């Protein structure tokens, strides 16, 4: 009896060893077909791994460890924090590389970003301490761009870098760091659990897997996605679209601004050319889609004009300005402004309207050879948002195809009145302003030494006009040295060609080429 | 009874060990013979672990699609494991549990580590197999240096890997600066025979010399022009510390290549394996240090990053050495908005004896990149399927896809010499212009294609370092050695001593 008891005990013991010993090597796999919530995924390593370092009163920049506060969210492995001493820093999480959700979109990128955002907002709202820890093995403090601090990010004593691995949002890039073995252990367990990035058949419900993308005009992109509401809510971020337009400017290696002219680019203006106009009251109702045929009659060139929702009336024009006669064409006239001859005998005329829409295409660090000014290109990409405006990302040399060559684009001449953040339909357009006296400015390198961009400011009719020289645009002085200080332009009067763009709510004309500045 | 209990305990512990360790991944077995219809008969799942980003994963997916047209019942699951070292560490971790992949992307020192665990399948029996192997012509078609790298693990030359993604280092220079900077009225660009210039619409139009080359002696002269230039002299003393004429990206590569160029030895498969403590290597580091002290040279550490490309793009350096595969990091963008970049081969010495070196028979430039390796599998079908995928991955078809869609060199002579690849290097595009309705041919090589063209010209002077357990540690140690000497105030003698101590 005693022996049997002993045997049972021994057997129990060894089975226990067996189970315990094998559990780590053979984690329970998850359900391959299930879309898990973050709460449903086991994170035993993160749960067990406790933060024990002393960080009270320490500053992350100076001491390599310190409490910070959450400032803003970027994506699954990058967050902006404020240190104890008030410095705002961008932090790249050590040891991981989550799928992208900003300059391009990858499966599970949004989910990883949302996970981190939720953790950070929860910490902010509930006063949960966030502590950054520099690596104690690898002495490198910033990443390869030189702009982002590297850190282990502890929130309420939980190592978020490790949790992101256990949540199956990322593989590890932790070799040579203080937590390398823990991270690899988590990666092995996560892969065994087998969801999200480790499940090749499970589709990320937030990722657009379509190849072709929805064909959209730049007008549609602008009107649907460049509104304040769409930008604030990042509407349809990650949606795949197919777009077309003429390259107006290239920025860096893989980025470009494109423009597309939409139908209805003829409109009625005012001229003092002799015409005969009649009251429109007896003419047909125009309806929602004004569409008139312009023809030459015995009386001259005839067109029906009027406003949407009004009765039309006819004009007879003896001649049309600029030789741009839309004869024998249908004219889409949604934006017609009706005008009868006034006291100065100014009368309506038909003229080509600069009815363009613009868009920024972001491809990042690469050489997109098909981006050449004047080329009409088409490409697929994904809707993204940056700095307060829509852009299309996930662009590369293979996606960008040439439709036509040698197209000419003239910049749209604008006034200070046009320089208004409410003119969102003008974002992305190539514009021109003249006689701008530079009175102020600032250098980006003050906060970010490796960024040689700067902003110069002119005042026109009491309004500030910001002109941005980004890091990607090189301005050389007459000795051939690169200019990186706004004061170089102080007191100078400029003619500027650039892209109407917006960044952090500030409207600016972004200069993409030295030749676009005349002074 | 005690004897019985003891026996039982042993038995159960044995069961425990067997139960908890590998599912027999390291089984040696004969290759299955499936007969002539093996392509459709074989059914298995192959897991392929690598360390590639999303873009290259897309290219692999395309190769898998092509593979499945020939092998419809083999499922290939590719999985990026993050960084290269993480990939190695994860494989080493999983080798004990049997959860390792079927095949993996490997550096030679990784293979050496896996061989310690007897986990790697030799490929000779597969590559020479009458049914599943390659013809001699196919084997000979591999770029010799790449193929030979798979046989460096023992003195018998057993094949443990086949080439996959290969790159080298080249030098990038700021062509606009070379054009603007004149000596006796002649631009540096023309003085050093880098090409000719025609001014059109007040802009320089460059025609590069296809044989352009700068020696280390040239580079020193050019750096001296830079630090005597008005622009450099106008810098504050603090800013001067952040500028140099030349900088190298990888300090480990710099150490190894300079050691080789000075006629020294770095490592060996024979004991003693760590051989860099020699006068030639020390002279090389002394030479670089002297030029760094003179303000002419630097490395990435000088700029606080792993790479010197940002400093290059910011105009803090006029020349930099970097990986051909990472060429785009040295591309600032549209030359009209930024500056023109030229690419030349890795510099060599005209006469290294002047600096204490021994002139080697030929130039020396690193060949780097990874291979693919097959692991031993319990299931002979999985192993065979893994081999068949490797065979396909290294075939002409897949090698062409890989070489034209990534920044890596072709691994086969036939790919390199094909018209298709030549067109890729030339950036040939056939465009139907919607404005004219006519077809137009445009030659518009990408920056990476231009870089590959230059890098390829170095193929006859490629060197590779022997791989063995600890060889990657050696790279880390010599990188620290360079940093200690250049920026840490440590004497060369001391730094070498510390490095050897560290390795021991």
Q: Which residues 155-194 on chain B approach chain A with CB closer than 8 angstroms?
A: 177, 180-181
Contacts of residue A351, Cβ cutoff 8 Å, sequence gap at least 6:
A266, A267, A268, A269, A320, A321, A322, A324
Is the Cβ pair A144, B336 closer than 8 Å? no
| Residue in this structure with the two tokens 């104690």, named with its chain if needed | A136
pLDDT in tens, A85-121: 888 899 999 999 999 887 778 899 999 999 999 999 9
Q: A327 at the B interface (CB within 8 A)? A: no
**What residue spans define the domains of chain B?**
24-121+124-159+375-405, 168-366+459-503
What's the CA gap between A512 and A407, in Å, rounded? 18
Q: Which helix (H) or strand (E) holds B78?
A: strand B74-80
The CATH number linked to A479 is 2.40.50.140
Task: Indicate whether A6 belongs to any domain.
Answer: no
As for how many domains chain A has, the answer is 4
Q: Give the H/E segment covering residue B49.
A: strand B44-50
- A264 vs A289: CA distance, rounded Å: 10
ipTM of the complex: 0.80
A352 pLDDT band (50/70/90 cuts)?
very low
Average pLDDT over residues A488-506: 92
* Residue-number span of the structural domain to which A306 is assigned: 266-352
pLDDT bucket at A245, cuts 50 / 70 / 90: very high
State the DSSP code for B313.
H
Give yes or no: residues A138 and A234 share one domain: no
CB atoms within 10 A of CB A159: 27
The partner residue sitting opposite B82, judged by closest CB among A3, A142, A173, is A173
pLDDT value at residue A303: 52
Q: Does B233 touch chain A (CB under 8 A)?
A: no
A151 touches A60 (CB < 8 A): yes
Residues forming a β-bridge with A173: A95
Judge whether A482 is closer than 8 Å to chain B, CB to CB.
Answer: yes
CATH number of the domain at A101, please: 2.40.50.90
A390-405: per-residue pLDDT in tens?
999 989 888 999 999 9
Instruction: State whether A471 and A507 are in the same domain.
Output: yes
CB contact under 8 A, B20 and A25: yes
Give me the residue from A97, A142, A188 closest to B304, CB to CB. A142
For residues A54 and A186, state if they share a domain: yes
Helix H or strand E segment including B475: helix B471-487
- Helices marked H in A59-103: 60-63
pLDDT at position A466 is: 96
Q: Is the peptide bond prior to B272 cis by the omega test (within 30 degrees of 0)?
A: yes
CB atoms B306 and A144 under 8 Å = yes
A146 CB neighbours in chain B (<8 A) are 303-305, 310
User: Using 50, 70 and 90 to split pLDDT, how confident is the model at A142?
Assistant: confident
Query: What percent of chain A has a predicted confidence (pLDDT) above 70?
Result: 75
Is A29 part of a structural domain of the chain? no
pLDDT score at A27: 63
In this prediction, residue A289 carries a pLDDT of 41
pLDDT score of B494 = 97
The answer on A417 and A512 residing in a single domain is yes
Helical (H) or strand (E) element with B221: helix B216-227
Q: Is residue A2 part of a domain?
A: no
Tokens in use for A218? Answer: 């730049």
Q: Which uninterrupted H or E stretch holds A111?
A: helix A109-125
Residues B24-78 pLDDT 10s = 445 667 888 888 889 999 999 999 999 998 778 889 999 999 999 999 999 999 9
Chain B neighbors of A140, CB-CB under 8 A: 306
Is residue A27 in a domain?
no
Q: φ and ψ at A268, to 5 degrees?
A: -100, 125
Question: What is the C-alpha to C-alpha distance for residues B41 and A65, in angstroms, rounded to an integer?
Answer: 59
Over chain B (504 residues), the average pLDDT of each successive run of 10 is: 38 35 56 87 95 88 96 95 89 87 93 91 96 97 91 91 95 96 95 96 91 97 95 88 93 96 93 95 98 95 81 92 90 89 97 96 92 94 97 97 91 95 94 90 94 91 83 89 96 97 90
pLDDT at A331 over 60: no
Distance from the Cα of A287 to chain B's closest Cα (Å) equals 34
Alpha-carbon span B317 to B255, nearest angstrom: 20
Contact across the interface for B89 and A366, Cβ inside 8 Å: no
Lowest-confidence region among A110-119, A182-191, A250-259, A284-293: A284-293
Higher pLDDT, A374 or A104: A374
Pick from B97, B339, B434: CB nearest A376: B434
Residue A13 resides in a domain:
no
Between CA B447 and CA A211 the distance in angstroms is: 27
pTM to 2 decimal places: 0.78
Mean pLDDT confidence for A334-354 = 41
B16 closest CB neighbour out of A14, A369, A405: A14
Mean pLDDT score across all residues of chain A: 80
Q: Which residues of A touch B85 (CB under 8 A)?
A: 175-176
Chain A, nearest residue to B52 by Cα: A171
CA distance A200 to A33: 11
Q: Are residues A365 and A348 in the same domain?
A: no
Joined tokens for residue A258: 């494109």
**How many CA atoms lie less than 13 Å away from A265 in the CB half-sphere?**
12
Q: What architecture is domain B24-121+124-159+375-405?
A: 3-Layer(aba) Sandwich (3.40)
Dump pLDDT digits (tens) for A376-435. 999 999 999 888 899 999 898 889 999 999 999 999 999 998 898 888 889 999 999 999
Q: Are residues A154 and A94 in the same domain?
A: yes
pLDDT of residue A489: 97
B8–A10 C-beta distance less than 8 A: yes
- Domain B168-366+459-503 part of CATH 3.40.190.10: yes
- Pick from A17, A192, A472: CB nearest B99: A192
pLDDT (mean) for A176-194? 93
Question: Could you tell me if A348 and A422 lie in one domain?
Answer: no
Residue A269 predicted with pLDDT over 60: no
A-proximal residues of B, 10-69, CB under 8 Å: 12-13, 15-16, 19-20, 54-55
Q: What is the pLDDT of residue A141?
A: 82
Is the pLDDT reported for residue A136 higher than 60? yes
User: What count of residues does chain B have?
Assistant: 504
| Residues A428, A379 share a domain | no
Nearest to B432 by CA among A245, A259, A405, A371: A405
CB of B312 within 8 Å of a chain A CB? The answer is: no
Do residues A330 and A462 share a domain? no
pLDDT interval class at A344 (50, 70, 90): very low
Nearest by CB: A175 against B83, B304, B339: B83
Q: How many CB pairs under 8 A join A and B?
A: 179
Same fold across B24-121+124-159+375-405 and B168-366+459-503 = yes
Question: Residue B20 has what pLDDT?
Answer: 36
Residues 6+ apart with CB under 8 A from B156: none
């Amino acid at each position: 009896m005693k022996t049997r008891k002993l045997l049972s005990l021994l057997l129990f013991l060894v089975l226990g060893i067996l189970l315990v010993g094998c559990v780590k090597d053979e984690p329970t796999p998850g359900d391959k077909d299930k879309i898990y919530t973050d709460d449903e995924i086991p994170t035993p390593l993160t749960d067990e791994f406790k933060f024990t370092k002393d960080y009270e009163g320490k500053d992350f920049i100076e001491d390599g460890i310190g409490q910070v506060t959450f400032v803003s969210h970027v994506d699954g492995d990058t967050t902006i924090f404020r240190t104890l001493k008030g410095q705002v820093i961008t932090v790249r999480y050590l040891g991981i590389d989550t799928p992208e959700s900003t300059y391009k979109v990858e499966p599970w990128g949004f989910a990883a970003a949302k996970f981190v955002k939720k953790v950070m907002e929860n910490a902010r709202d509930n006063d949960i301490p966030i502590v950054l820890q520099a690596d104690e093995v690898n002495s490198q403090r910033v990443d390869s761009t030189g702009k982002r601090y590297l850190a282990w990010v502890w929130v309420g004593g939980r190592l978020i870098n490790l949790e992101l691995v256990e949540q199956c949002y990322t593989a590890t890039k932790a070799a040579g760091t203080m937590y390398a073995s823990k991270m690899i252990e988590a990666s092995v367990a996560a892969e065994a659990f087998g969801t999200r990035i480790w499940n090749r058949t499970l589709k990320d419900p937030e990722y657009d897997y379509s190849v072709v993308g929805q064909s959209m005009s730049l007008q549609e992109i602008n009107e649907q996605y460049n509104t304040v509401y769409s930008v604030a809510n990042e509407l349809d971020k990650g949606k795949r679209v197919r777009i077309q337009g003429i390259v107006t400017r290239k920025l860096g290696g893989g980025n470009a601004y494109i423009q597309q002219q939409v139908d209805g680019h003829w409109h009625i203006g005012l001229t003092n050319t002799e015409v005969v106009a009649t009251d429109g009251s007896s003419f047909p109702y125009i309806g929602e889609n004004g569409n008139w045929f312009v023809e030459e009659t015995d009386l001259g060139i005839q067109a029906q004009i009027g406003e949407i929702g009004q009765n039309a009336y006819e004009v007879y024009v003896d001649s049309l300005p600029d030789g741009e006669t839309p004869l024998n064409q249908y004219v889409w006239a949604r934006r017609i402004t009706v005008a009868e001859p006034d006291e100065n005998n100014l009368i309506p005329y038909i003229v080509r309207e600069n009815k363009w829409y613009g868009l920024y295409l972001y491809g990042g660090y690469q050489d997109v050879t098909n981006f050449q000014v004047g080329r009409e290109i088409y490409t697929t990409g994904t809707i993204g948002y940056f700095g307060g405006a829509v852009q299309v990302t996930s662009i590369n040399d293979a996606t960008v195809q040439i439709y036509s060559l040698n197209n000419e684009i003239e910049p749209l001449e604008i006034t200070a009145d046009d320089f208004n953040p409410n003119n969102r339909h003008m974002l992305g357009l190539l514009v021109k302003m003249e006689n701008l006296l530079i009175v102020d400015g600032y250098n980006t390198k003050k906060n970010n030494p490796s960024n040689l961009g700067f902003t110069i400011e002119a005042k026109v009719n009491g309004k500030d006009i910001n002109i941005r020289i980004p890091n990607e645009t090189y301005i050389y002085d007459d000795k051939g040295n690169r200019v990186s200080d706004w004061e170089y332009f102080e007191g100078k009067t400029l003619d500027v060609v650039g892209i109407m763009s917006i960044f952090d709510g500030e409207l600016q004309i972004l200069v993409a080429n030295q030749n676009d500045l005349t002074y | 009874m005690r004897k019985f209990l003891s026996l039982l305990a042993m038995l159960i512990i044995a069961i425990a060990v067997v139960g908890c360790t590998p599912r027999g991944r390291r089984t040696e077995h004969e290759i299955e013979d499936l007969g002539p219809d093996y392509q459709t008969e074989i059914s298995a799942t192959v897991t392929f672990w690598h360390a590639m980003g999303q873009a290259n994963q897309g290219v692999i997916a395309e190769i898998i699609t092509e593979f499945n047209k020939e092998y419809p019942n083999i499922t290939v699951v590719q999985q990026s494991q993050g960084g290269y070292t993480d990939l190695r560490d994860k494989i080493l971790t999983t080798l004990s549990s049997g959860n390792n992949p079927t095949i993996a992307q490997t550096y030679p020192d990784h293979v050496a580590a896996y061989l310690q665990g007897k986990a790697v399948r030799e490929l000779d029996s597969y590559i020479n197999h009458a049914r599943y192997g390659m013809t001699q012509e196919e084997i000979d078609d591999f770029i010799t240096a790449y193929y030979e790298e798979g046989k460096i693990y023992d003195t018998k030359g057993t094949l443990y890997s086949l080439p996959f993604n290969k790159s080298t280092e080249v030098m990038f220079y700021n062509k606009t600066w070379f054009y603007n900077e004149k000596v006796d009225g002649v631009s540096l660009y023309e003085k050093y025979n880098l090409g000719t210039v025609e001014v059109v619409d007040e802009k320089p139009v460059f025609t590069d010399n296809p044989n352009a080359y700068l020696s280390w002696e040239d580079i020193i002269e050019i750096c001296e022009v830079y630090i005597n230039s008005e622009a450099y002299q106008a810098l504050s003393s603090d800013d001067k510390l952040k500028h140099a004429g030349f900088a190298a990206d990888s300090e480990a590569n710099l150490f190894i290549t300079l050691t080789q160029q000075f006629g020294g030895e770095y490592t060996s498969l024979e004991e003693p394996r760590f051989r860099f403590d020699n006068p030639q290597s020390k002279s090389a580091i002394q030479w670089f240090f002297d030029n760094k002290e003179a303000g002419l040279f630097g490395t990435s550490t000088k700029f606080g990053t792993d790479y010197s490309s940002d400093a290059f793009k910011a105009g803090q350096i006029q020349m930099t050495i970097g990986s051909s595969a990472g060429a785009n990091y040295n591309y600032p963008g549209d030359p009209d908005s930024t500056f023109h970049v030229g690419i030349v081969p890795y510099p060599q010495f005209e006469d290294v004896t002047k600096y204490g070196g021994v002139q080697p028979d030929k130039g020396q430039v690193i060949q780097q990149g990874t291979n693919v390796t097959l692991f031993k599998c319990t299931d002979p079908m999985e192993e065979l399927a893994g081999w068949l995928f490797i065979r396909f991955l290294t075939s002409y078809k897949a090698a062409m896809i890989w070489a034209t869609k990534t920044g890596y060199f072709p691994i086969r002579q036939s790919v390199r010499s094909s018209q298709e690849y030549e067109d890729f290097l030339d950036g040939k595009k056939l465009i139907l212009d919607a404005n004219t309705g006519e077809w137009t041919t445009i030659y518009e090589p990408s920056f990476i294609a231009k870089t590959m063209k230059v890098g390829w010209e170095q193929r006859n002077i490629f060197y590779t370092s022997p791989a063995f357990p600890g060889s990657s540690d050696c790279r880390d140690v010599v990188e620290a050695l360079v940093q200690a000497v250049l920026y840490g105030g440590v004497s060369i003698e001391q730094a070498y001593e510390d490095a050897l101590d560290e390795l021991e």
